[in-house]
Amino acid sequence: MTATIKIQGVSKTFATRSTIREVLRPVSLEIEDGEFVAFVGPSGCGKSTLLNMVAGLIPTSSGEILHCDKPVKGANTNVGYMTQADSLLPWRTADDNIQLPLKLRGAPAEERRKRGEELLNAVGLAGFGSSFPNELSGGMRKRVALAQVLAYDPKTILMDEPFGALDAQLKLVMQSELAKLHDRSKKTIIFVTHDLGEAIALADRIVIFGARPGRVKAIEHIDIPRPRDVFKLRFDPRYQVIYEKLWERLAPEIVEERS
């Protein structure tokens, strides 16, 4: 398979007036076309920093990132980025928010209308296009935010703790929707999470980061066939074996980060 993202010896340090803080030690990683990769690790280990470098929002301190064989220099407009806090504009309806990325790219009105309707249906919000964000539940807002990211059909989707603020039940629903979307679209996805169970349920591979300064401690392929039923997966013996194996790797890093 072809690597959509190539991370080659990438590190990051931040300088202040009094010190230089090493956030991420050199990381080399390739993410294949259509692969779902989860970054897991304790707070401050550099996983979100690395995601932001793939998005081109911050520069690398060393090394290089290639997306579709092109160096990432500045904002990477060929990726969709979904953060923990949605970026919905409160004065726009759900449909208008979904269409906004297309409008900014100069897409014709009819194309925007059709795409908006298609995505509302895809994320299970048919009939809610005229609703404003404050009229939607937390889960519904997340669906709108996901549809907004998908609006211009990016090849790659970056997700930074997108479901972290949801309650346990809503989180499972959104995980299920994302798993179905990935099965249909085969998009390349990088998903940052603190939740090891969430990573196992969704990912093809999990990258475990050590405590700061971050470094890759382990990479695990998740050999559980797709499609996966995220509501029942936690009762699968294969899931339990993988969870215990990865928790043994992750737990010492969490203890180190808190000490």
**pLDDT attached to residue 65:** 97
Residue 32 and residue 16 in contact, taking contact as beta carbons nearer than 8 Å: no
Sheet hosting strand 20-32, strand order edge to edge: 20-32, 3-15, 62-67, 70-71
**pLDDT attached to residue 85:** 79
Cα angle vertex 54, ends 52, 56, to 5°? Answer: 70
CATH topology of domain 3-78+155-258: Rossmann fold (3.40.50)
**pLDDT attached to residue 258:** 59
CA distance 152 to 218: 34
Residues 6+ apart with CB under 8 A from 181: 122, 146, 150, 187
**pLDDT attached to residue 257:** 61
**pLDDT attached to residue 252:** 85
Cα→Cα distances 252→32, 117, 186, 206, 247, Å? 29, 47, 34, 17, 9
Give domain limits for the chain. Answer: 3-78+155-258, 85-154
CA distance 57 to 183: 28
- Three-state SS at 94: helix
**pLDDT attached to residue 37:** 98
**pLDDT attached to residue 167:** 84
Q: Taking the chain (259 residues) in consecutive chunks of 10 residues, what is each chunk's mean pLDDT?
A: 91 87 94 97 92 96 95 92 86 94 90 92 90 91 90 92 85 90 93 95 96 91 95 94 94 71
Query: pTM of the prediction?
Result: 0.91
CA distance 9 to 65: 9
One-letter amino acid identity for 21?
A: R
Dump the DSSP string for 217-250: EEEEE---PSS--TTTGGGSHHHHHHHHHHHHHH
